[in-house]
Amino acid sequence: MTLSASLLWLIPATPLAASVFGLFAPRTARTLPIAGALLGLVAALGLSVAALAGALVDPAVRATSDFAWFTFGAQTLRLGWLLDPLAGFMCVLVTLIGLLVALFSTAYLRHDPRIGRFFGFLSLFVAAMLGLLVTNSLLLLFICWELVGLASYLLIGFWYERPAAAAAAKKAFITTRIGDLGFLIGLVWLHQATGSALFHDGGAGALDAPTLARLSSTLLPGGWAVSTAIGLLLFVGAAGKSGQFPLHVWLPDAMEGPTPVSALIHAATMVAAGVFLMARVFPLMAADQGLATVPFHALTGVAVIGAVTALLGAVLAVAQNDIKRVLAYSTVSQLGYMMLAIGVGSWVAAVFHLITHAFFKALLFLGAGSVIDATHHEQDLRRLGGLAGRMRVTFATFALGTGALMGLPFVFSGFWSKEAILHAAEGWTVSHLPFAAGLVGVVLTAFYMTRLVLEVFFGKARGEGAAHAEESPGLMRGPLVVLAVAAVGLGWLGLPNWPWLQTRLQGGDWPVHGLGEGFGLMVVSTALVLLGIGAGWWWYGRVKRTDARALDPLARSWPAVHAALAGRLWLDELYAATVGRAFAMLARVAAFFDRWVWGGAVEAAGRTAETVGQVNRAVDEDGLNAGFDNTSEHLRGSGRRYAKAQTGDAQSYLRVVAIGLAVVGVLLLWGGVR
């Protein structure tokens, strides 16, 4: 069974209906909204699979179905649906992960009184994301994009009683909206320049070749192509949603929401939107590639930002003590990899990594959720420890997810998708810096994940919660197992010598390499992963932490240098003085940057706006308003003065009359004499 393009709207419509149902169901009915949401997701998953099946019949065909939204003047805004393998794969991904997260949530939020509303929001989140995936119109994509932002706001701030959650929700909403402003401007510009917001419209769409040729050949002052400018504006939007430097600050805070929400945000629904947008409009982004005259290519900007983000996120993850925060920075870093891949021209590799990452990151977050639930909301890895024995399933699945994230060779999915990205970056002719950044990131990723696993699951329990932890219920373990299978196995869909996924996504010929061609790179990156694991083990594995209050070994490295100089292994010192110190310094500087410079920049911008607002208010009340008030006051004052003459005493009036009469008389007499 396949699904035709004209029926694609059913995919987002089913969760949307579930959402409406869940939000309007009476508050006392707890199970109804849950059942509705699960039903909606199952239906959407079925429809997505059908759609994907339809798309895979001939991957090169893009089935579209458009309709007019409204007409204004000479222009008609048309929206539409688009089915291609990219949309199909993403739909299956989103509905599958959404379903698993929803199942997990039924157990995770079992004590929350507002669980019904939670499922309503969750369905809305998934519905908005699905709408974003299957649309053929940049405008409809923007609309769903905004709804995704709205749903994330509602979910991050779901526990709005906690000030941190309310603040995080606000921060996420505002920060992504800054990006959305770029998106909106890009959208309006594109619409003006092409007269259509449709992607594919039989040659007239914004992504069809004739339009692209026109866009890239139209030059702005300074020699920039119009397509470059529009592409970069759209990228601003994508950077906001996908947590790219310097708009990444909201993402680590967003873990204030319930953990399943973090899993959803970090895996499938929110941050994936930016990468998906870039993949969708890739022809536009790449339209200026062939032009030697333009001073700047849109993709170069994407690559640079992606590389910076990949490195920054990884460095920051090293210094975090909150289990979810480590994972959040790791998401930032991985998203950087995806953007990097798009920047160097391989959007297929980016989407490949997006898919594998979605599974293993959802796994890691849900695993973290399982730990947090079992330890009565303990998230500080210094107070965890020793959970490997008590939570066997959680540990095993978490370890598999870790392996995938690190990119352990050959078995794990993350390895193949990351290889694809690194391979593309290696071949990028403009600069080798992104490639280098990617390699450094590999080491760091392995290092911080080793640290995380060692601190959480090994050693001895260092807190009440960890000491009495028990394995989570079956409804939480089940999704973990399913995700773990996917985290391991999915990479086999896109082997270099059997690029099934790539061929389908590309919709045609994808170069098939033997395993031998990229073998050198594989060896290098494997070595780097092992280096990171070794370093992690060096600091955290050899001597297990025994006391929650003990200093982080990495932070202790400064005095450790002296101790080593006193007579320990020289190798120790070499490591600590170079790599370790550099690591620690880099991490601290980056944490400082993140906390003070970028956080501070957002803060400062807010403050500035507030100050300007205060000044404006002063102008309004004392300046513009004062004119009006003064005039009125003058009128009133003069009225009061004249009223004084009105004494109410009849005789004084008469006296005035008499004086007047006398004066008139004198004048008349005088006149008479003359």
Partner 1 sequence: MSPLHLCLLLSTVLFCIGLAAVLVRTSAILVLLGVELMLNAANLNFIAFWRYGPGGDDTGVIFVLFSIAVAAAEAAVGLALVIALHRHRRTIALKAANQLRG
Partner 2 sequence: MSLLPWIPYVTFAGALLAYVAGSRSARAGRVVALLTALTGLGLALTAAAAFVPGRELQTLVNRAWIPELGIRYHLAVDGISLTLIVLTGVATTAAVLFSWTVSERVGEFFALFLGLIGGVYGVFLSADVFLFFVFYEIAIVPKYFLIALWGSTRREYGAMKLVLYSFAGSGLVLAGVLWTYGSGAAEGFSLGALTAAAARLSPVEGGVVFALVFFGFATLAGLFPLHTWAPTGHVAAPTGVSMLLAGVVMKLGAYGCLRVALPLFPDAFAAWQTTLGWLAVAGIVYAGLVALVQDDFKFVIGYSSVSHMGFVMLGLATGELEALGGAVLQMFSHGVIAGLLFAVVGRMVYERTHTRDLAELQALPLHRLIPGAAAIFVVAGLASMGLPGFSGFPSELTILVGAWRHHIPWALVAGLGVLVAGAFTIKVMQRAFFGQLRGPAESTQKEHAAEHAPMEPLTLPEKAGAALLIAATVIVGLKPDLLLDWIMPALQSPAFALTLTKGHP
Q: Decide: 487 and 400 in contact? Cβ < 8 Å.
A: yes
Q: Which of 9, 108, 173, 540 binds partner 2 (CB under 8 A)?
A: 173
The binder of 71, among partner 2, partner 1, none, by C-beta within 5 to 8 A per type, is partner 2
Q: Judged by CB, which is closer to partner 1: 597, or 659?
A: 659
The reply to whether 158 sits near partner 2 by the rule CB under 8 A is: no
What x-and-dash track marks residues 69-108 binding partner 2 by CB under 8 A? xxxxxxx---------------------------------
* Complex with partner 1: residue 110 or 655, whichever CB lies closer: 655
Q: Nearer to partner 2 by C-beta: 611 or 652?
A: 611
Tally Cβ neighbours within 10 Å of residue 357: 30
The closest of 280, 244, 260 to 144, measured between CA atoms, is: 280
Query: How many of the other CB atoms lie within 10 Å of CB of 103?
Result: 20
Q: Least distance to partner 1 from the beta carbon of 606, Å? A: 54
Question: Given the complex with partner 2, which of 376 and 607 has the nearer CB atom?
Answer: 607
Query: Considering only CA atoms, which of 95, 85, 77, 109 is closest in space to residue 16?
Result: 95
Contact residue for partner 2 among 191, 214, 513, 588 (CB under 8 A): 191
CA 52 to chain centre: 25
For residue 641, the minimal CB distance to partner 1 (Å) is 10
Q: How far is the CB of 227 from partner 2 (least distance, A)?
A: 17
Least CB distance to partner 1 at residue 633 (A): 18
Q: Could you tell me the smallest distance in angstroms from the CB atom of residue 618 to partner 2?
A: 10
Alpha helix stretches (DSSP H) within 157-220: 163-194, 209-217
Q: Are 15 and 116 in contact (CB under 8 A)?
A: no
Which of 1, 57, 292, 624 is the binder for partner 2 (CB under 8 A)?
Answer: 624
Measured over all CA atoms, what is the biggest interatomic distance in the chain, rounded to whole angstroms? 135
The binder of 645, among partner 2, partner 1, none, by C-beta within 5 to 8 A per type, is: partner 1
**Which stretch, 182-190, 320-328, 432-440, 538-546, contacts partner 2 (CB under 8 A)?**
182-190
Return the number of the residue (192 or 218) whose C-beta is nearest partner 2.
Answer: 192
Closest to 18 in 3D by CA, of 130, 132, 150, 165: 130
Which residues, 6+ apart, have CB-to-CB distance to 104 below 8 Å?
260, 263, 366, 369, 475, 476, 479, 480
Among 509, 620, 622, 633, binds partner 2 (CB under 8 A): 620
Q: Find the Cα–Cα–Cα–Cα dihedral 120, 123, 125, 129, rounded to 10°.
A: -160
Alpha helices (runs of H) in 507-649, residue ranges in sequence order: 519-536, 557-567, 570-575, 581-592, 599-618, 625-644
Interface with partner 2 in residues 116-155 (CB under 8 A) = 139, 142-144, 146-147, 150, 153
Question: Closest by alpha carbon to 352, among 415, 262, 431, 277?
Answer: 415
Measured on CA atoms in the order 273, 277, 279, 285, is the torsion positive or negative?
A: negative
**Site membership for partner 2, residue 159 (CB under 8 A):** no
Residue 622 binds partner 2, judged by CB under 8 A = no
Question: What Å distances lie between residue 620 and 611, 629, 634, CA to CA?
Answer: 14, 12, 20
Nearer to partner 2 (CB atom), residue 141 or residue 299:
141
Cβ(353)–Cβ(334) below 8 Å: yes
Yes or no: say if 512 and 386 are a contact pair by the CB < 8 Å rule: no
Smallest gap, in angstroms, from Cβ of residue 639 to partner 2? 14
**Binder of partner 2 out of 7, 17, 61, 185 (CB under 8 A):** 185
Q: At closest approach, how far in Å is the CB of 174 from partner 1? A: 58
What residues pair up with 75 in beta bridges, in sequence order?
A: 72
Count of H helices and E strands in the chain? 29, 2
Strand partners, 135: 81
* Residue of 181, 563, 585, 597 interacting with partner 2 (CB under 8 A): 181
142 binds, among partner 1, partner 2, none (CB under 5 to 8 A by kind): partner 2
Residues listed for the chain: 674
Name the residue nearer to partner 1 (CB basis): 293 or 646.
Answer: 646
C-beta separation of 230 from 193 below 8 A = yes
Q: C-alpha dihedral over 487, 489, 495, 500, to 10 degrees?
A: -100
State how far the alpha carbon of 412 is from the alpha carbons of 93, 360, 417, 473, in Å.
18, 10, 9, 26
The string of DSSP codes covering 469-537 is: --PPPHHHHHHHHHHHHHHHHGGGGGBTTB-HHHHHHHTS------TTTTHHHHHHHHHHHHHHHHHHI
630 is a contact residue toward partner 2 (CB under 8 A): no
Q: How many residues interact with partner 2 (rule CB under 8 A)? A: 46
Among partner 1, partner 2, none, the one that 61 touches (CB under a kind-dependent 5 to 8 A) is: none
Q: Kindly list the residues in this chain that would bind partner 1 in the complex (CB under 8 A).
A: 642-651, 654-655, 658
CB of 524 to partner 2, least distance (A): 44
Q: Which lies closer to partner 2 via its Cβ, residue 84 or residue 253?
A: 253
603 scored as a contact of partner 2 (CB under 8 A): no
CA torsion through residues 44, 10, 77, 85, sign: positive
User: Which tokens is 602 given?
Assistant: 């957002």
Closer residue to partner 1 (CB): 567 or 672 = 672
Q: How far is CA 540 from the centre of its chain?
A: 31
Which of these segments, 47-55, 183-191, 335-343, 638-646, binds partner 2 (CB under 8 A)? 183-191
Rounded Cα gap, residues 274 and 28, in angstroms: 37
Q: What does 655 bind: partner 2, partner 1, none (CB cut-off 5 to 8 Å by kind)?
A: partner 1
**Beta carbons of 455 and 540 less than 8 angstroms apart:** yes
Q: How far is the CB of 604 from partner 1 (least distance, A)?
A: 58
Q: With binding defined as CB under 8 A, does residue 547 bind partner 2? A: no
- In the structure encoding, which two tokens stand for residue 254, read together? 């967003």
Residue 639 or 672 with smaller CB distance to partner 2: 639
Answer for which of 4, 497, 625, 638 binds partner 2 (CB under 8 A) is 625
d(Cα 533, Cα 541) in Å, to the nearest integer? 10
Nearer to partner 1, 202 or 639 (CB): 639
User: At closest approach, how far in Å is the CB of 211 from partner 2?
Assistant: 18
Q: Is position 177 an interface residue for partner 2 (rule: CB under 8 A)?
A: yes
Interface pick for partner 2 out of 551, 565, 604, 612 (rule CB under 8 A)? 612
Minimum distance of partner 1 from residue 645's CB (angstroms): 7
How far is C-alpha 171 from the geometric centre of its chain's CA atoms?
Answer: 12
CB of 450 to partner 2, least distance (A): 39
Residue 654 touches which of partner 1, partner 2, none (CB < 5 to 8 A by kind)? partner 1
- By beta-carbon proximity to partner 1, the closer residue of 642 and 670 is 642
- Interface residues toward partner 2, by CB under 8 A: 68-75, 139, 142-144, 146-147, 150, 153, 157, 160-161, 163, 166, 170, 173-174, 177-178, 181, 184-185, 188-189, 191-192, 606, 609-610, 612-614, 616-617, 620, 624-625, 628, 632
